[in-house]
Amino acid sequence: MDVMLVALTVNTTEKEKEKGKLHLWLTDNTHIVDIGPVSGDDDAAASSLLYKSGVGNNEELIALYEKRGVDRASLGMVSVRLTAELQQVKEVLKTWKEVDERVSKLRTNSVDPEGASTVTACSTNFNITDGLVGFLSGNFSENTWKDEYLGVNATVTDGTAAATVAAAVTAATGPLDGVTFRGAWAEWPVGKQGENQLYHFVNYNFTLVATVSMDVEPEKDTPISLMGVKTNAVENPVLLRLSYNSGGKWKLSCGDGTFKELSSNWEPKKAHQVAIVLQNGNQSSAYVDGKSVGEATCAVENKGSKGISHFFIGGDGGSAVSEEGVPVTVKNVLLYNRPLDGTEIGVLNPNKAPTPSPVDRPSKGIALHSSSGGGQEEQGTTIGDTCCGESRCIHNIIVHCQHSLRRRGVFKAGGVRNVSRWNSNC
């Protein structure tokens, strides 16, 4: 797996003076993790990363940055050996790999009523981890629903009652994989990271998938929000909203405040897979149990270019949710940085009808995807591979990686300064 280490300054204000804190970031062009600050209490300006490969644990990572004084004048250069941070990078990569394997198992074999396996995880060429940025499952602490990929966490907002962690089907031995909301809901702040927007892509293209079940049918016919998108706009902030009502109907609102009744029905205590998709920033669609519902697409308008603020899951704090407190269980929330098509969403659907797999040829295995980049802009030299750890290679890597990060939305344009490409297998 090829990954990139990024030295990026995060500006803070201390005693009414702006101060630059140099952070080390790790990305594989899909996932992004802030490893942490590396400049101590210094006011850091320009910086570079130097990496030297070695056998065993003899590799080195060094941050070189300009230190500024109280009047913002340069006080010279400072070098910091990042031994602990390099070890943390390896731990993050290990976690990413483990989570990829867990997510891949969501495409488990379908079983017919007589117990015969009919659909394998290899029935199609769809790679479930291709473009998968975030995953909310069972990592839950107090009011924080933690991203399994160590990215942006969701926050549970308490309405009339607290959220509780829901056990998996095999509660005694299986892992936790979701949350049950009772008058509460979660907000995933994908657009609230300040000056360094990790998920800038959500303003243009994304797919949000979740498995949900409502324990009882609400008493009133008022639509109850289940999942959707809010912007930073003061008026009419809801960009897209998928709701349900007491008549067993799904309803979709495309930001204009009106609800369209969808053709698909929902049933109490039944797990449904729901998905909302945004394409090119203005075309959205919704899926229930792998099938497109309502019109093929509906136009949405992010008025005033306010940008996406957050996703809401399990509710949105509306009065209907607070009054009725319908228990809603949400499991395995997947966020992709691209719009999945109907076929791909259908493959993810756990309720799909079984289809026989070929018997005259072996199934092909799924290759877990890691985005190391393949475009012309991303062909920088790999440190520790052809450079033998010499720091003279760093400049070429910085030049070749910046445009790729901006184009893919890894960091907002203008945010990337220093990039070091590193092969984690070295």
Give pLDDT < 70 ranges for the chain: 14-16, 108-124, 159-176, 234, 255-263, 294-306, 317-325, 351-426
Dist CA 182 CA 214 (whole Å): 10
pLDDT of residue 6: 94
pLDDT of residue 384: 30
Query: How confident is the model over 213-270, as pLDDT tens digits?
Result: 988 777 777 788 899 998 887 677 888 888 888 777 888 887 666 666 666 788 888 9
pLDDT of residue 122: 45
CB 307, CB 232: distance < 8 Å: yes
| CB burial of residue 17 (10 Å; 0-12, 13-18, 19+) | exposed
Torsion of CA 179, 185, 186, 191, to 10 degrees: 160
Angle of CA points 143, 145, 148, to nearest 5°? 155
pLDDT of residue 183: 78
pLDDT of residue 99: 97
Dist CA 135 CA 188 (whole Å): 11
Q: How far is the CA of 316 from the CAs of 20, 185, 241, 341, in angstroms?
A: 36, 6, 9, 26
Query: How confident is the model over 383-420, as pLDDT tens digits?
Result: 333 233 333 333 333 323 333 444 444 444 344 445 55
pLDDT of residue 10: 86
* Structural domains for the chain: 2-92+371-423 (no CATH), 126-348 (2.60.120.200)
Dist CA 174 CA 167 (whole Å): 8
pLDDT of residue 132: 98
